[in-house]
């Protein structure tokens, strides 16, 4: 039974965040709706294009964020693995233990099964969000391209009880009878191993034991590591127009029409192949960012799809110091339809964000953004029937972003911000997350500009939902 418990643990082993577009946005924690004034306004607020008087500008951006909440489960796995040393090591001693502590033994197994099932929840794994893009502005019209690439590695654990038992423990009628009595084998599975069993007159000559292909035993376990990728290419045409309300007051409105072309990738890796169970080391299945990057080339294209979306924005200024903005993204609810019927359409849900900014003193701006509508945190979950990753929503977010920028002489800009999910107030399942970011920007004359930013939630050492991101942008203006 010690090896059975160990095998349950082994099957477990095979077993996300804020992706802020643009280095200025990431450096300020995502507080951009009222303050954005570059070509990333195609994402943050297209109304900003109506306020720019330059004839031509272009920008390129690149960034990533990475999140890991699998480490917590790996640590729990280590704890369960070492509990095996507390169990009796020989058959008769274990039978005596089971007779005296049946309830405790079953609770132990139930707790392990529950922890294994938790690994199959959506959102458990390691996620990379990468984005890159370019935008060109000619007058008030902007043409932009944004590539969003989500890469996710996660577990799918086969927690069927009989497929967590090594085959060697199914080769004697004594063991099989005990496993059946303790509820680890179904009646149908028991009949496959011991056909015609009669409790009043057990015929041991009829005992077969485990055979390959009977869908019983650890060797038949289907646990896998899944790799899932979704690439979205956003092609947008944006336009903005401003109205002067007074000497210092104005309001601008803008819109972006987006065409979205998507591609899904995926693959899976069998876990128990060539695994030496007797010399098992839990670390062999610990996955992380380096493991994910090394496995990217294993991804294969599964499906393609497309859809349309429309964004509307408002941005204005009151007096010399106060700015405001409103962004209504995806105002026409739509979806991305995939050419593979196994995938349901991916909805493109509306979002509404408000922003304000205040110039506290010359060159220093403070900004705040607030999501009014909850936004789905998309993830994936493996469906063993269809054999593909399906869209899932582990939780929903409402983001509160606070940012500050100090512009020093138009040459150097220092930035800092925080980003948190305040949806925990409304939905208990939404995790409270706090990201801190810093950034810097350089301007060479009025032509070239360069920005860098980093962000992380690793303010204090911890193992859960670890996140890190960085961003880079380069452009010039005429």
Q: Enumerate the β-bridge partners of residue 144.
A: 135, 236
Residue 425 pLDDT greater than 60, yes or no: yes
> What is the band of 316 on the pLDDT scale with cuts at 50, 70, 90?
very high
Residue 294 and residue 178 share a domain: no
Residue 300 and residue 186 share a domain: no
Structural domain contains residue 318: yes
Average pLDDT over residues 217-226: 84
**Residue 151: per-residue pLDDT:** 84
Instruction: Tell me which of 178, 197, 219 is where a domain ends.
Output: 219
Q: Report pLDDT digits (tens) over 384-403.
A: 888 788 888 888 889 999 99
Structural domain contains residue 233: yes
- The number of distinct structural domains making up the chain is 2
Instruction: Tell me which of 219, 247, 263 is where a domain ends.
Output: 219
**Residue 304: per-residue pLDDT:** 92
Task: Give the span between the Cα atoms of 46 and 33, in whole angstroms.
Answer: 9
Residue 57 pLDDT greater than 90, yes or no: no
Residue 435 and residue 349 share a domain: yes
Residue 382 pLDDT greater than 90, yes or no: no
Average pLDDT over residues 447-453: 82
SS3 labels along the chain: CHHHHHHHHHHHCCCCCCCCCCHHHHHCCCCCCCCCCCCCHHHHCHHHHHHCCCCEEEEEEEEEEEEECCHHHHHHHHHHHHHHHHCCCCHHHHHHHHHHCHHHHHHHHHHHHHHHHHCCCCCCCEEEEEEEEEEEEECCEEEEEEEEEEEEEEEECCCCHHHHCCHHHHCCHHHHHHHHHCCCCCHHHHHHHCCCCCCCCCCHHHCCCCCCCCCCCHHHCCCEEEEEEEEEEEEEEEEEEEEECCCCCEEEEEEEEEEEEEEEEEEEEECCCCCCHHHCCHHHHCCCHHHHHHCHHHCEEEEEEEEEEEEEEEEEEECCCEEEEEEEECCCCEEEEECCCCCCCEEECCEEEEEEEEEEECCEEEEEEEECCCEEEEEEEEECCCCEEEEEEEEEECEEEEEEEEEECCCEEEEEEEEEEHHHHCCCCCCCCEEEEEEEEEEECCCEEEEEEEEECCCCCCCCCEEEEEEEEEEEEC
Task: Give the span between the Cα atoms of 192 and 212, in whole angstroms.
Answer: 12
Residue 254 and residue 205 share a domain: no
User: Higher-confidence residue: 477 or 409?
Assistant: 409
Residue 172 pLDDT greater than 70, yes or no: yes
Task: Answer for the pair 27, 174: CB distance below 8 angstroms, yes or no.
Answer: no
Instruction: Tell me which of 201, 219, 237 is where a domain ends.
Output: 219
Residue 259 pLDDT greater than 90, yes or no: yes
The residue range of the domain holding 436 is 18-68+125-156+226-477
Average pLDDT over residues 20-33: 88
Q: Report pLDDT digits (tens) over 269-294.
A: 777 654 444 554 555 455 544 555 55
Task: Answer for the pair 476, 448: CB distance below 8 angstroms, yes or no.
Answer: yes
CATH assignment of the domain containing 310: 2.40.160.60
Residue 331 and residue 204 share a domain: no
Structural domain contains residue 26: yes
Both tokens of 368, joined, read 């705040």
**Residue 77: per-residue pLDDT:** 66
Structural domain contains residue 11: no
Residue 301 pLDDT greater than 60, yes or no: yes
Average pLDDT over residues 248-260: 90
Residue 31 pLDDT greater than 50, yes or no: yes
Residue 259 and residue 195 share a domain: no
Task: Give the span between the Cα atoms of 76 and 118, in whole angstroms.
Answer: 12
Contacts within 8 Å (CB) and 24+ apart, 100-103: 102/182
Task: Answer for the pair 58, 134: CB distance below 8 angstroms, yes or no.
Answer: yes
Region of poorest pLDDT, from 60-64, 232-236, 297-301 = 297-301
Residue 174 and residue 269 share a domain: no
Structural domain contains residue 378: yes
Residue 248 and residue 337 share a domain: yes
Region of poorest pLDDT, from 75-89, 90-104, 253-267 = 75-89
**Residue 23: per-residue pLDDT:** 84
Average pLDDT over residues 310-324: 91
Residue 280 and residue 139 share a domain: yes
Phi first, then psi: what are they for 332, rounded to 5°?
A: -105, 105
Average pLDDT over residues 437-462: 77
Structural domain contains residue 111: no
Q: Report pLDDT digits (tens) over 89-132.
A: 666 777 777 778 778 777 877 877 887 888 888 878 888 888 88
Residue 147 and residue 165 share a domain: no
**Residue 463: per-residue pLDDT:** 45
Region of poorest pLDDT, from 58-62, 80-84, 205-209, 388-392 = 80-84
Best-predicted range by mean pLDDT (5-9, 140-144, 200-204, 404-408):
404-408
Structural domain contains residue 94: no
Average pLDDT over residues 6-25: 50
Residue 272 and residue 143 share a domain: yes
Residue 376 and residue 252 share a domain: yes
Q: Enter the pTM of the model.
A: 0.77
Residue 298 pLDDT greater than 70, yes or no: no
Residue 203 pLDDT greater than 70, yes or no: yes
Mean pLDDT of the chain: 80
């Amino acid at each position: 039974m010690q090896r059975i418990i160990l095998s349950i643990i082994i099957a477990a082993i095979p077993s996300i965040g804020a992706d802020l577009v643009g280095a200025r946005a990431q450096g300020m924690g995502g507080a951009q709706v009222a303050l954005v004034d570059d070509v990333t306004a195609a994402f943050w607020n297209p109304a900003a294009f109506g306020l720019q008087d330059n004839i031509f500008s272009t920008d390129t951006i690149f960034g990533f964020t990475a999140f890991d909440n699998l480490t917590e489960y790996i640590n729990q796995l280590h704890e369960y693995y070492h509990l095996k040393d507390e169990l009796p090591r020989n058959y008769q001693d274990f039978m005596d233990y089971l007779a005296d502590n049946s309830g405790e033994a079953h609770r132990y197994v139930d707790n392990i099964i529950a922890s294994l099932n938790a690994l199959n929840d959506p959102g458990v794994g390691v996620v990379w969000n990468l984005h890159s893009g370019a935008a060109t502005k000619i007058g008030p019209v902007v043409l932009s391209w944004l590539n969003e690439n989500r890469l996710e590695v996660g577990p799918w654990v086969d927690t069927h009880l009989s497929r967590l038992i090594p085959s060697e423990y199914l080769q004697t009628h004594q063991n099989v009878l005990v496993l059946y009595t303790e509820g680890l084998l179904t009646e149908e599975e028991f009949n496959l191993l011991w056909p015609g069993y009669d409790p009043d007159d057990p015929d041991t000559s009829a005992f077969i034991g485990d055979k390959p292909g009977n869908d019983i035993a650890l060797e038949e376990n289907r646990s896998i590591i899944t790799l899932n990728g979704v690439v979205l290419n956003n092609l947008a045409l944006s336009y903005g127009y401003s109205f002067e309300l007074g000497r210092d007051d104005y309001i601008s409105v803008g819109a972006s029409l987006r065409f979205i072309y998507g591609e899904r990738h995926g693959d899976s890796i069998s876990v128990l192949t060539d695994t030496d169970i007797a010399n098992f080391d839990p670390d062999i299945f610990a996955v992380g960012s380096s493991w994910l990057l090394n496995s990217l080339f294993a991804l294969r294209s599964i499906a393609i799809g497309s859809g349309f979306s429309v964004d509307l924005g408002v941005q204005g200024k009151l007096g010399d110091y106060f700015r405001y903005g409103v962004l209504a993204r995806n105002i026409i609810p739509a979806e991305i339809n995939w050419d593979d019927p196994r995938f349901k359409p991916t909805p493109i849900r509306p979002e509404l964000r408000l922003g304000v900014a205040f110039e506290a003193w010359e060159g220093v701006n403070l900004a705040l953004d607030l999501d009014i509508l909850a936004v789905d945190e998309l993830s994936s979950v493996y469906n063993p029937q269809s054999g593909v990753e399906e869209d899932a929503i582990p939780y929903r977010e409402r983001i509160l972003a606070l940012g500050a920028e100090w512009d020093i002489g138009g040459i150097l800009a220092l930035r800092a911000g925080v980003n948190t999910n305040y949806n925990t107030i409304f939905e208990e399942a939404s995790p409270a997350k706090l990201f801190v970011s810093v950034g810097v920007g350089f301007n060479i004359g009025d032509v070239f500009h360069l920005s860098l930013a980093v962000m992380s939630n690793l303010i204090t050492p911890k193992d859960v939902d670890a996140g890190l991101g960085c961003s880079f942008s380069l452009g010039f203006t005429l």
